A and B are shown apart, each in its own frame.
Chain A
Amino acid sequence: MSFADSPLAAFLIGTAFGFALERAGLGDARKLAGQFYLKDFTVLKVMFSAIVTAMLGAFWLGRVGLIDLAAIHVPETFLAPQAVGGLIFGVGFVVSGLCPGTSCVAAASGRLDGLAAMLGLLAGVLITGLAFPLLEDFYRSTDRGVFTLPEMLGLPYGVVVTLVVAMALAAFRLAETLERRS
C-alpha cells in the first residue's frame, strides 16, 4: 500500500482539515447559522477561499507538471439524487448549525451539540445503508456522467479559473459590505 492509500494519510489530511475549520471558528454552531441569516459570512469566506486555493493550486501545479491533473478523481453527477441529498444536507445544516466536518470539530472541542450532530450523522449513514436496496434505483437515476466546469461551459480551463476567482473576490467584497451593515 502506498502512503497516499494508507489510513495514516487520511488521518493526517483529516486532522489538518479539522484544525483549519477550528481555527476559522467553524466549530461554533452560532457562527455557521449566522451564514443563513446573512449576518456572518465566515462560512462563505472560508469555503470560497478553500475552493480558490485548491483550484489555483491544482491548475498551476498541473501546468508546471508537478501533479497529473487527469489522475484526480472527479465524482460522477447524478442530478436528482444529488439535489435531494443537498436539500437534506442543507436542512440538517440549518437545524444543527453544523455540517459533517464541523460537527466533528465541535465535538472534539467539547461541544455537546457537535456530539449530537455527529451521532445523528452516523445514524443517518446507518439508516441509508440499511434502506439502500429501496433507494438504489433513485440513487442511480439521472446520471450525467463525469464532467468538469470547463467541459460543461466549453471554455478553456484557464478562463474558468479567472471567472471563478473573480466571482470569489466579488463575493468577498459583497460579504464584507453586508457584514458591516448588520
Chain B
Amino acid sequence: MTQLAIETSGLRKSFKGHEALSGLDLAVPRGSIFGFLGRNGAGKTTTIRILMGLAKADAGSARIFGMKPADGASGAAIRRRIGFVTEDKELYPYMTVAEIIRFSRPFFPAWRLDLERRYLKVFDLPPNKKIPDLSKGMRSKLMLLLAISRGAELLVLDEPTDGLDPTAIEDVLRELVILSASDGMTIFFSSHQLADVEQIADHITIIDKGRAIVTGNLDDLKQQYQRILVTFADSVDTDILWVDGAERVRREGRTVSILSRNNVEAIVARATSLPGATVARRPVTLKEIFLDHVRTD
C-alpha cells in the first residue's frame, strides 16, 4: 500500500501545439488536504483530466493509489474509490436532486447512506428540485454530496467552493476538515481561493506554465519563507543584496524587499552589515508566495 494517493512524474501534455504540461511532478500524501494552485491556463484542469482518465499524458507517469488511471475494468476500479467535482458543476438537466442521487448509488458498493443524509441536511438541498433550477452554489454542494457519499478514499475537487457565499464556503470547508479528521480522507483540490487553501490545506503545489514551481508542507513553507525589509539611510546599489537564496528583490525608494526561503539568516546578516541599514522581518502569506512566484518580473 503506497503512501501517496496521487503521484505524477514528469507529466507532459500538449494540445494543438500548445504545451499544457511540461514535466509536472506531484506527490499527494494519503490523508492530506492538498491544495493545487495556479493561474488560469497553468495546467490545473489538464492535470485533473489526466488523473481522472479523461485524457492521456504524452509522456511521464501518473499514479492513483499506485495504479495507472486507465479505461476498462482497472480504471473503473480506481474511479470507484474517487469522488470528483468538476469545474463547471454540470449534471444531467432532466434529473432532480433525488433522481441523480438514486442514479448514482448503484455504481458504488461503498455508498455511505449516512453521509448522503447528512449532506442533504447540512447543505440544505431540495430533493425534488430539477438540477438546472439550482443555483451554481447549490450545484457545487450537490456535486460534493455525490462525490463524498460514494464512500471514496480520495476526493478530487476542481474549484469546490465556486459560487458559494462565505457561510456556505465555511460549511463546505468544515465538512472537508471533518472528513479528513474522521475518515482519513485524502482531499486534492484546485482552487483560486487562496484563503480557502490557506485555511485547510497542509500540503500545496503551485503550478505555472505546466510545471510545479513551489511544493511543500504549507506550515513549513510559511516558516521558511520570510520577507526581509531593508531600509537604507542613503540610496544603495541593490546588487549587494543578491545573495544566494534571495528570491524576489524589489526596490522602492530606499527600501528593498527580499523574499527568501533558503539562507534567510545569511541574507539578514549581509543586510545588517551594510552601513546605515535597518532590517526588519515579516512573515509571508500564501498570497504573497503565490503572486511572487507566478508574476513575471
Q: Do A and B bind each other?
A: no
